[in-house]
Amino acid sequence: MKTTLRTLVRQLVEQGIAALREQGTLPADVETPDFVVERPKERSHGDFSSNVAMLLAKPAKSNPRALAQALVAALPPSDAIAAVEIAGPGFLNFRLSESAWQGQLRTILDEAGRYGRNDSGRGRRAGVEYVSANPTGPLHVGHGRAAVIGDCIARVLDANGWDVKREFYYNDAGAQIDNLARSVQARALGKGPDDAGWPEDGYRGDYIVDVAQGYLRGDTVSFEDHAVTGAKDPGDLDAIRRFAVAWLRREQNADLEAYGVSFDVYFLESSLYADDKVEETVRELVAHGHTYEEGGALWLRTTDFGDDKDRVMRKSDGTYTYFVPDVAYHLSKWQRGYERAITELGADHHGSLARVRAGLQALDCGIPQGWPEYVLHQMVTVMRGGEEVKISKRAGSYLTLRDLVEEAGRDATRWFLLARKPDSQLTFDIDLARSQSLDNPVYYVQLSHARICGLWRQLRERGLTYDPKAGLAQPLDLENGATHALVTALSRWPDVVAAAGEHLEPHLVAAYLHELAQAFQSYYNDHQFLVDDDGVRNARLALAQATRQVLANGLDLIGVSAPESM
């Protein structure tokens, strides 16, 4: 793990605690507490603050302020620390030195695109499953939210050093697929939704017409490493099923690619049955004694693992309930070496989570409790002109992801669907997403990046020069509030990346970028960059260059472009 300013302060405190033990001031049996090193809300409280002395005081049987004074005296000398003050009942407030901030800027410019990334997950494997839409229709806006959240979870885990596999699980077996096939067949036979013989729950969108026409023409549909050709026979339901699934998988893949989302693994639910993985999983559960038969059905004792009631696995008619293949599927993830398995789902799937985890625990194969991890997203309401947008002619009953991307643009769609915490309701305002105003957060952030790029164009036009080494040697004028706020924001980036990966919260990246853009705009409004004084110009441009780099790194981490002009 790379040393950040926060970890540097933590290391100094830990060394100070070790010194107190050696001195006998702190009893040897007093363990180091889980103290925090955080950034105070008030600038007057320094650059970092810690509660360590107050946590140590009770087990050490000491007064917190007295212990804080002893700890300050025991801290090793560091060029990065200008002063350490004791506040209130025993808080330690750290003020960083000029050289520490200059070193931070030097790190940003030296590491460039690597700045903020760390290797905490090196040698560890994670699987992230997201979207996993049934291949029965176009992707809707909810799928779009799942896609960007899952994609960005994978991105932030990768930035934290994990070996990440992106996975799409196709529910290509079951009643919904049969319903799709019968809907396409009805269209191939010339029937419409209002005609006799139309399937009771048939899919009504115009895309069904497109699939039927392609099948009757004998089109060949290619996707991933497969190709399916329409048999042209409207009576062959199995051939229609294969063609319809292929058609919609191709369409979904194309929509996701246009949205900037891709996958490493496509896993078919049907393969679990074809490879006997469902039966094998059931046999293991029976063998470990966590099942029983009642009423002609096979039950799993999920209450042994925290569920509110036991669940039927195999119904009296011999078919399996839907959570059983989910258990088999997640077992395959464990067998493939995923130390972290993350599944991004709509909140409506919440009820199945406990029984899947219970099934995995009941296998007694070493899977830890709480595995896999779930990230659930709430619904999206799309607004245009102050009114809710609900339907699409193409899909029939819902707004598609393609509709939204075409209207609002890929960058804005990704940003707006990511920017709020997944478990919160989200309102997507198309008018705001399309607007070129400072009220539009993605426009605001991208404008900041473009504005900095514009400084270099102006620099060349005026025949001026920029020497980054000379700029880093100049004082930063940290007494200026805008300067201090900007360098502080820049130094936070590695902490944001680490937190987003640890807690699976990529929306933290979007929030940070907006805050960084605001800090830069305040600095931009207070300072002239292309001044005649070489030293001042170099110093300010070095800070601007560092800001542009961090903005670019952050935008890349959420799959949004960093334009050089707007």
CATH architecture of 276-377: 3-Layer(aba) Sandwich (3.40)
Half-sphere CA count of 375, side-chain side, radius 13 A: 30
Residue 43's pLDDT is: 87
Domain ranges of the chain: 5-96, 276-377, 380-434, 438-557
CATH of domain 438-557: 1.10.730.10
pLDDT digits (tens, 9 = 90+) for 465-499: 999 999 999 888 899 999 999 999 999 999 999 99
What is the edge-to-edge ordering of all strands in the sheet holding 37-38? 37-38, 48-50, 91-96, 81-87
Other beta carbons within 10 angstroms of residue 453's beta carbon come to 17
CATH code for the part of the protein at 5-96: 3.30.1360.70
In the chain, pLDDT over 70 holds for what percent of residues?
Answer: 99
User: How many residues does the structure list for the chain?
Assistant: 566
Q: In the predicted model, is pLDDT for residue 172 greater than 90?
A: no
User: Above pLDDT 90, what percent of the chain?
Assistant: 88
Find the mean pLDDT for residues 529-552: 96
Mean pLDDT to the nearest integer, 421-443: 96
Of the candidates 193, 207, 200, 184, the residue with the CA atom closest to the CA atom of residue 137: 207
Averaged pLDDT for residues 160-179: 91
Q: Note the pLDDT of residue 520.
A: 98
Q: Residue 542 burial (CB < 10 Å; 0-12/13-18/19+)? A: buried
Residue 351 pLDDT exceeds 80: no
CA–CA dist 54, 376 (Å, integer): 37
For position 224, what pLDDT does the model report?
Answer: 83
Please state the rounded mean pLDDT for residues 46-50.
96
Residue 262 phi, psi (nearest 5): -140, 170
Q: What is the pLDDT, as a whole number, of residue 380?
A: 94
Residue 95 neighbours by CB under 8 Å, 6+ apart: 46, 47, 81, 82, 83, 84, 85
For 67-93, write each residue's pLDDT tens digit: 999 999 999 999 999 999 999 999 999
Judge whether 489 and 559 are in contact, CB under 8 Å: no
Whether the bond into 372 is cis, omega within 30 of 0: yes
CA 210 to chain centre: 34
Average the pLDDT over 4-24 and give the result.
94
Give the count of alpha carbons within 13 A of 3, CB side only.
9
pLDDT tens per residue across span 316-347: 999 999 899 999 999 999 999 999 999 999 99
Tens of pLDDT, residue by residue over 239-280, are 999 999 999 999 999 999 999 999 999 999 989 999 999 999
pLDDT band at 392 (very low <50, low <70, confident <90, very high): low
Q: How far is CA 203 from the centre of its chain?
A: 32
DSSP 378-414: --EEEEETTEE----TTTSSS-BHHHHHHHH-HHHHH
> Model-level pTM?
0.93
